């Protein structure tokens, strides 16, 4: 068969998964953000010059408020993929995000690897999170980002059944383990430049929270976000994901 990656085929869930795919490939593809062989996902459109700042694993009691201040200072709208359990602990921060016009997405309740989670629990993780976020923010949740980017056909199907668009990314660096904001911002600037050359918008991931540590220090990530905003605000357009759906 023709490799789905070679054809760039944006296939429906499971359509091109065959016994011919080696187990190693399967596991690689399920964790690779650019891979779409397991279903349709939103990454970024062909709109060079548009940048979506997205923040995962929050809210975080210390760093999310600081980030919200920076976004407000520059009138930038972003997208927050929240963990349901953390949102339930900090409803005031979720309300603040929604009130400021940011987009709120579902990042599961407890951050499991969904490629290895049974369908019933996947459904429960997503349902409980959407319900909690909708109850707090008073608006429907449209977007879902799988923890670790890990997925399989059933995850796409369940998300779709719940009316959620699965979102991946195309610009990421290890901001959760990097102590230097300059390094984080520098790596993302290189990635954004490469995407721009290919005529694509950038769907940028940073972390304002930590899925293992609710009090994770996210100063470097939040400072990197400020550096990106200051660098690009005159030349690029910052959008929340609603602009692409």
Chain residues binding Zn ion by CB under 5 A are: 56-57, 147
Nearer to Zn ion, 16 or 188 (CB): 188
3-state secondary structure string across the chain: CCCHHHHCCCCCCCCCCCCCCCHHHHHHHHHCCCCCCCCCCECCCCCCCEEEEEEEEECCCCHHHHHHHHHHHCCCCCEEEECHHHHHHCHHHHHHHHHCCCEEEECCCCCCCHHHCCHHHHHHHHHHHHHHHHHHHCCCCCEECCHHHCCCHHHHHHHHHCCCEEECCCECCCCCCCCCHHHHHHHHHHHHHHHHHCCCCEEEEEECCCCCCCCCCCHHHHHHHHHHHHHHCCCCEECCHHHHC
Strand partners of residue 205: 54
- Count how many Cα atoms sit within 13 Å of the Cα of residue 148 in the half-sphere of its side chain: 17
Nearer to Zn ion, 16 or 114 (CB): 114
Backbone angles phi, psi at 200, to 5 degrees: -115, 150
Q: Least distance in Å: CB of 57 to Zn ion?
A: 4
Does the annotation mark 102 as catalytic? no
* Nearest residue relative to Zn ion (C-beta): 56
Which of residues 56 and 125 has its CB atom nearest to Zn ion in the complex?
A: 56
Closest approach of Zn ion to the CB of residue 205, in Å: 9
**Beta carbon of residue 186, minimum distance to Zn ion (angstroms, whole number):** 22
Of 50 and 208, which CB lies nearer to Zn ion in the complex structure? 208
Catalytic residue selected from 90, 207, 211, 236 = 211
Active-site choice (56, 57, 175, 208): 56
Is 107 catalytic? The answer is: no
Cβ closest to Zn ion, residue 33 vs residue 147: 147
**Residues involved in catalysis:** 56, 211
């Amino acid at each position: 068969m023709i490799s789905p990656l070679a054809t760039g085929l944006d296939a429906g869930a499971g359509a091109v998964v065959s016994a011919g795919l080696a187990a190693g490939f399967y596991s690689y593809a399920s964790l690779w953000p650019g891979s779409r062989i397991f279903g349709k996902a939103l990454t970024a459109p062909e709109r060079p010059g548009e940048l979506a700042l997205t923040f995962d694993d929050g809210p975080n009691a210390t760093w999310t408020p600081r980030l919200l201040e920076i976004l407000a200072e520059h009138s930038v709208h972003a997208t927050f993929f929240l963990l349901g359990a953390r949102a339930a602990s900090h409803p005031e921060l979720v309300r603040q995000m929604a009130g400021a016009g940011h987009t709120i997405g579902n990042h599961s309740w407890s951050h499991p690897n969904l490629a290895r989670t049974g369908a019933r629990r996947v459904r429960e993780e997503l349902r409980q999170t959407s319900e909690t976020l909708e109850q707090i923010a008073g608006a429907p949740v449209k977007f879902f980002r799988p923890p670790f980017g890990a997925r399989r056909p059933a995850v796409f199907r369940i998300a779709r059944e719940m009316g959620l668009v699965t979102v991946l990314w195309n610009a990421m660096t290890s901001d959760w383990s990097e102590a230097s904001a300059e390094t984080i911002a520098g790596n993302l600037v290189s990635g954004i430049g490469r995407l721009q050359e290919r005529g694509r918008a950038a769907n940028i991931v940073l972390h304002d929270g930590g899925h293992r540590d609710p009090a994770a220090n996210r100063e470097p990530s939040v400072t990197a976000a400020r550096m990106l905003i200051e660098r690009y605000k005159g030349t690029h357009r910052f959008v929340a994901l609603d602009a692409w759906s």
